Structures are given as C-alpha cells and as structure tokens.
C-alpha cells in the first residue's frame, strides 16, 4: 500500500514542477469557478470588462484561459485541484502591454498579464454549501488567496461567491452563477468589486474609480475522469451467504 502511494505521488510531482516553473507575474479580478471541485479535467475561457480609469482606453477588456485537473471532495475526504491560468488584457493605444519597461508606481485595473498556477482544497462535503480555499501564485508567492462558497440552488444552476486578498488589488469580492448547458459544458457570469482603493499610476491624471468593478462571462468544458466499471459480484456473494 505504501509503495502504491509513493508511486502515485511520483507521477504527480512532474506536474507540480511544471506548474510552478511556468509562473509569470500578473494580477486579475476574474474567478470564473464555483467552490465545487469536480473529478477530471476542466478548461475555461472567459472575457472580463473592468470599469476603472474612465478616460483611459487601458485594460478595459481582458481574457482568461484556464486548465485544471481535479479530484472531487466527498463527505469523508477533502477535494483538491491543480490549475494553470493565462490572463492578459487586450493591447490598447494608450499603454503598451508587456513592453519590457520598468513598471511605474501603480497600475490600471487588470492591466498586468501573467501565467499563474492555482491550487484549491475543498472541505469534505458535510456542509450545506461547498467551501474551498483558493490560492493562485505568481512565481513563488501568492498572487491571490481567498475563500469560495457555492451552492447548487436548482438543477443545472449554482450560485457562488468569494472573498480574496489579491496583490496590487487588495481586497476583492466576487459573486456569480454557473448554468450547466449540457453534461460537459457550462456558462458562467460573474461580478467582482474592489473593496480597497486602487493604486493608479502616478502619471495618470484622468477620471478614475477609487474602487473599480468588473463583469465577465465564461464558457467551461468539463471532461470527467473515466470511472471504474461497477462490479456487483462482492454484493451478490454476500447475499448468497446470508441466504445459506
């Protein structure tokens, strides 16, 4: 049993090393996920519109592409997942994205691109809501850490919310809904709002929101892990012994 567990983790260490090595600095408000971790592989593509510096055509729209591998929680065990997100604003005329120059003091909301590893741990499913700790990294330090909660309120419909501490943003609150269109695809819509005053560039003198907000939509595709075939023979043998 111990040997099997060691081999199990040895197979996953290369994945962890690749995820950590791929990290590039970035920062973003998008979440696009419930607190429920599902078995299998999940891919998500979303677009976010942020309302921040009202007179600057900078980082108004941005894209998030995420891949994730998950192991679902049960009443008697935790769930967990490993993911990798690519985030980037659309390049605009007023400010060059990833120009290689030194960052000035402050930045615009959702301006900085990045490739960010993400780790989630879901509490055993004994509560009326799913509850998950979410940590997203930039290089070796957390870019985002927070709590997600969600509940399936109807067939194919779930509501979720979260509170995060995010580098260069501060405190952030997120709320959204997931609609399952089919067994494998979902549509997500979410709203997020800064709970801390945003630090804009010192050289920007235009209109600005002290606490920006954003709205986004995403499409998610879930590929379930293949389940082991159901074997009823042990139960049949037990029933036969009981009859004897």
Higher local confidence (pLDDT), 160 or 13: 160
Q: Is the pTM of this model over 0.85?
A: no
**Residue 161 CA to its chain's centroid (Å):** 12
Tokens read off for 67: 């891949």
Q: Which residue has the higher pLDDT, 151 or 168?
A: 151
Nearest to 95 by CA among 119, 111, 110, 78: 111
Question: Other C-beta atoms within 10 Å of 21: how many?
Answer: 9
Is domain 2-243 given the CATH code 1.10.10 in the classification? no
52 close to 59: Cβ distance less than 8 angstroms:
yes
What distance lies between CA 159 and its chain's CA centroid?
A: 15
- Reported as a pLDDT band with limits 50, 70 and 90, residue 98 is very low
Within a 10 A sphere around the Cβ of 24, how many other Cβ atoms?
Answer: 14
pLDDT at 6: 47
Spatial separation of the C-alpha atoms in residues 119 and 69, rounded to whole Å: 10
Confidence grade of residue 58 (pLDDT, cut at 50, 70, 90): low
């Amino acid at each position: 049993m111990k040997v099997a567990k060691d081999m199990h983790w040895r197979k996953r260490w290369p994945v962890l090393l690749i995820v950590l090595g791929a990290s590039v600095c970035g920062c973003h408000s998008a979440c696009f996920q419930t607190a429920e971790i599902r078995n299998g592989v999940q891919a998500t593509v979303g677009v976010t519109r942020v309302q921040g510096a009202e007179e600057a055509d900078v980082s108004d729209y941005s894209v998030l592409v995420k891949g994730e591998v998950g192991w679902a929680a049960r009443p008697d065990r935790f769930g967990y997942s490993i993911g990798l997100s690519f985030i980037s604003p659309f390049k605009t005329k007023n400010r060059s994205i990833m120009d290689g120059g030194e960052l000035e003091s402050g930045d615009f909301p959702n301006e900085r691109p990045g490739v960010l590893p993400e780790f989630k741990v879901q509490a055993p499913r004994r509560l009326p809501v799913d509850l998950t700790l979410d940590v997203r990294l930039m290089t070796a330090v957390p870019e985002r850490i927070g709590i997600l909660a969600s509940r399936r309120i109807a067939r194919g419909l779930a509501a979720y919310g979260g509170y995060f501490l995010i580098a260069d943003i501060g405190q952030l609150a997120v709320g959204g809904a997931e609609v399952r269109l089919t067994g494998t695809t979902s549509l997500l819509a979410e709203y997020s709002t800064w709970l801390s005053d945003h630090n804009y560039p010192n050289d920007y003198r235009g209109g600005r929101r002290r606490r920006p907000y954003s709205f986004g939509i995403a499409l998610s595709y879930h590929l379930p892990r293949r389940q082991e075939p159901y074997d009823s023979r042990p139960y049949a043998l037990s029933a036969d012994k009981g009859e004897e």
